[in-house]
Structure 1
Amino acid sequence: MRTEFAATARLAIPLAAANLLQMAVYAIDVIFVAQLGTQQLAAITLATSVYGISLWCSLGLIGAVAPMAATALGRGRHALREMRRSFRMGLWMSLFAGLAVMAVALGGEPLMNATGQDPVVARMAGEYLSVLSFAAVPVVAANVLRIFVSTMDRAVIATWITVLALLVNTTGNWILIFGNLGAPALGLRGAAIASVITSLAVLAAYVAIIQSDRRMRRHYLFGRLWRPDWQRLGEIWKIGLPIAAITLAEGGLFGAAAFLTGALGGLQLAAHTVALQLAALCFQVPFGISQAATIRVGIHNGAGSREGVHRAGIAVLALTGAMAVIFAALMLAAPRLLLSIYIDTGDPANASLLALAMTFLLIAAGFQLFDGAQAVLAGLLRGLADTRVPFVMAVIGYWLFGFAAAWLLGFHTPLAGKGVWLGLALGLLVTSILLGWRWHRRERLGLVMKPD
């Protein structure tokens, strides 16, 4: 168990750090664009909602490469060849998925107009998306290579490359948005160009590091990249599509929660947005642990080690539980301090917003364990290449229980926004119970490989 805890931490810590830094990269765009005015800020918010959910779904699709490659590594026989097949076709899939994200992004303005958004804001968002769409393919491809370095037990590379992304994006925004160092002041379009440059820099960094490392270079990932392997591409699609669907189901639930709270009033929506930002920040840690869980379980499963799979489950669930307790304690002990990151807690004008956001944050503290558990359990099952049934369970938990409860409690009781958040908590609780049941019965269900 000590060895398993060490291996899990060696993967999870840099991946969680990379996830947190990635949130900082996105925040940089908002910080810079906010200085341009409220319309520009509204435009980038709308654009990010369209681009973000489609991008996350595409990342879920290529996430199938992780269990496939880890299982091949654990099996040992023909590991180099099998991993190379998976990652090459993962790069092919990143092209298809990235082009799909581009199509969604380019259709963003008509979608916003159809949903009754301000035409001026929709036009700004459409112009932003027309440039940002070119970042989609390199972003998805870079995530395939991130999975590769993590599978090779070099996850710290992902952390440092995300630091590079933060630096490039910050510099690009400063130069291109405001016209510093003699560059033209491009405003919102400059922010989009900076994001495209950042995506290309990240992809180039992964390629350069992989090619310069002797152990990783021997996998010959980029050799004969043009040759299709339709069988492996089909396997990635079969495993990855339910992962993308789970991402859409969860993202859709929290997106729907924003619409529900927005219908209850501007104050409710503002408090929801602030509290959810903090909850999302905390979620990046169990999300990193979930990514590590997929790789660790995949390796043990490929080796036919049921005991190894069991140890990996204990390690990631214990680590997730410990982090959940820490985050919940922080939310309960210092909610005002945490919220001061986003709002001026000393301004009397924000008193109502602060009080409501603190209430939401207390509910978020209560569901930290369930939120982390459902993410990690999905990662554990993903390591066994089990994705279709977990998708069905996620839809049941998120929507049949979570959304239904949020709607009922939010609009048919005096709880209002608090009812919406209690509905979210119920959805996460039910999902974690269902996924936990499936993980517990993994051997009886025949999900674990038998040793040769």
Structure 2
Amino acid sequence: MSDGPALTPWRTELRATLHLAAPLALANLLWMAIGTTDVIFVAMLGQQALAASSLAVTQYMLISWALTGLTGAVAPLVAAELGRRKHAVREVRRSVRMALWLALGTGMIGVALCSWGEALMLLTGQDPEISRRAGAFLAIIRWAIPAMVVSSVQRTFVAALGRPMLATAITAVAILVNALGNWVLIFGHFGLPAMGLEGSALASVITAFAMVAAYAVVIAADRRLRRYRLLGNWWRPEWQRLREMLRIGLPIACIIIAEGGFFSSAAYLMGRIGAAQLAAHTVALQIAALAFQVPFGVGQAATIRVGYHYGAGDREGVRLAGLAALWTAFAFSFVGAGIMLLFPRHVLALYVDVADPANAQLIALAVQYLAVAALFQLFDGIQAVGAGALRGLQDTRMPMAIALFGYWLPGFGLSLGLGLFTPLGGLGVWIGLAVGLVVVAVLLLHRWRRREALGLLPR
């Protein structure tokens, strides 16, 4: 029995969204598994080492993600070019070439910014010894930034060209490379000296460059991807395209800085409250971030699908792409929230020994934080897809303003006030995180629903 022709476009779009989102979300989860591997190995070195790596990684990841957001402007540009003309080889190559230029140039700027990491930690009142160890860790891991940004551009290219499973496979291999690197370099195997905490940082650098090499190999080996000849005329500038990428990408980078800085600031607030609170925050946030990777992948797919219809001038396609992404993200966020709320200790057992009496305080605090994380999962999914869909319409400036307002006024304001000036302590910090996400999600969803009235749709 047929459901009727009216459902066909919806089902077609939902299928296309899932086909793109599933491997991207899986790749995101696998990427988080790389971070989880680091946490597991570093946790074996003690609570102080875990706290130091947490402070360093918050800075490293904030800079890295901001730069991947800047170069991430290549996603809506490539999607729109493919929507306008299915075989837009030259246009796609030019956009990706400029994105790679941008990745290398800004990646080196990111390396330089990490030079002030330890000074920033001391300025924010962190423990001097933890800051010293974090600074030494950051001095090594910062060299992974250029490679990480380049691999992000490569990943966007293969996903937009219909090969998202390549990103999944490469990230899966990267987990093995990173785990082996941690095991060998931290504890000293195969005749190498035991480097301790710094060994984990070096393993991350090796993994980042291995991913760039892997993407280069698979792009050269795949017939469809190879025809774009990404390195052809690599020295030739496309200044207009670069300006367009900066116009779209700079607000995206600011959004990531606003959100990433918001969550990073929570780590610094926790560091002022206590080492146990910071360690519990690190583990709980790792779990919340892991659950977020599915709606984040859906948001990435929304950028490409909405951008494709935007380039084709298909308003109904834009609507269906956004709707399919929102419902998909909502469903997965609901599942993630349920797991965190109902089985917190089981989830925490993946990271720490919940039966060890030495971890009792950490576990008790982390369970409280996960309860709050479960409540904001749905809104986190909505803001991820809302931002991704608007990005597909090449609308990034107002979402930037929304992120700056929502995360830093009601969000950080509450985290600071409740965390440092009330008995709630770390729990108050997490309440502020939840409020910031709710405000941003509601405002982004409102803007998406008013896209036609705001003149965001193609003519």
Give the Å deviation of 1:123. 4.3
Distance 2:206 2:436 in 1: 38
Distance 1:269 1:127 in 2: 19
Code of the residue aligned with 1:370 in structure 2: it is F
Q: Name the structure 1 match of 2:435.
A: 426
Report SS of the residue matched to 1:181. coil
Code of the residue aligned with 2:207 in structure 1: it is T
Q: Which of 413-422 and 65-74 deviates more?
A: 413-422
Report SS of the residue matched to 1:55. helix
Residue pairs, 1:24-423, within 5 angstroms: 24-36=33-45, 40-76=49-85, 79-117=88-126, 119-348=128-357, 350-411=359-420, 414-423=423-432
Question: C-alpha deviations, 1:95-126, integer Å up to 9, x for none?
Answer: 11111111012332343444455555444444
Question: C-alpha deviations, 1:140-165, integer Å up to 9, x for none?
Answer: 11110100000011111001000111
Is contact 2:306–2:392 with CA below 8 Å preserved after alignment?
yes
Superposition CA RMSD, Å: 2.2
Is contact 2:25–2:298 with CA below 8 Å preserved after alignment?
yes
Is contact 1:65–1:87 with CA below 8 Å preserved after alignment?
yes
Distance 1:136 1:163 in 2: 19
Distance 2:80 2:346 in 1: 44
Do the aligned partners of residues 367 and 141 (structure 1) sit closer, same or farther apart at CA in structure 2, a change above 3 Å counting?
Answer: same
Give the Å deviation of 1:78. 6.8
Q: Which of 119-128 and 8-17 deviates more?
A: 119-128
Is contact 1:22–1:162 with CA below 8 Å preserved after alignment?
yes
1:17 aligns with 2:26: yes
Q: Runs of 5+ in structure 2 lacking a partner?
A: 1-9
Is contact 1:5–1:315 with CA below 8 Å preserved after alignment?
yes
Do the aligned partners of residues 225 and 334 (structure 1) sit closer, same or farther apart at CA in structure 2, a change above 3 Å counting?
Answer: same
Distance 1:126 1:267 in 2: 20
Q: Structure 2 length normalisation: TM-score?
A: 0.91
Distance 2:336 2:444 in 1: 22
Give the Å deviation of 1:173. 2.5
Code of the residue aligned with 2:257 in structure 1: it is L
Is contact 1:34–1:41 with CA below 8 Å preserved after alignment?
yes
Q: Runs of 5+ in structure 1 lacking a partner?
A: none
Code of the residue aligned with 2:259 in structure 1: it is E
Distance 2:40 2:227 in 1: 42
Question: C-alpha deviations, 1:298-333, integer Å up to 9, x for none?
Answer: 001101110101110111100011111111221222
Number of aligned residue pairs: give it: 450
Report SS of the residue matched to 2:225. helix
Code of the residue aligned with 1:287 in structure 2: it is F
Is contact 1:151–1:295 with CA below 8 Å preserved after alignment?
yes
Q: Which of 324-333 and 239-248 deviates more?
A: 324-333
Give the Å deviation of 1:11. 1.2
Is contact 1:62–1:94 with CA below 8 Å preserved after alignment?
yes
Give the Å deviation of 1:264. 4.1
Question: C-alpha deviations, 1:249-280, integer Å up to 9, x for none?
Answer: 11121122233344444454444333222211
Is contact 2:82–2:308 with CA below 8 Å preserved after alignment?
yes
Q: Which of 184-193 and 285-294 deviates more?
A: 184-193
Q: Which of 226-235 and 165-174 deviates more?
A: 165-174
Q: Which of 6-15 and 26-35 deviates more?
A: 26-35
Identity of aligned residues (%): 56
Question: C-alpha deviations, 1:329-361, integer Å up to 9, x for none?
Answer: 212222222222234333455555434432322
Do the aligned partners of residues 299 and 98 (structure 1) sit closer, same or farther apart at CA in structure 2, a change above 3 Å counting?
Answer: same
Give the Å deviation of 1:433. 1.1
Distance 1:173 1:264 in 2: 30
Give the Å deviation of 1:51. 1.4
Q: Structure 1 length normalisation: TM-score?
A: 0.93
Distance 1:430 1:228 in 2: 41
Do the aligned partners of residues 313 and 132 (structure 1) sit closer, same or farther apart at CA in structure 2, a change above 3 Å counting?
Answer: same
Is contact 1:145–1:206 with CA below 8 Å preserved after alignment?
yes
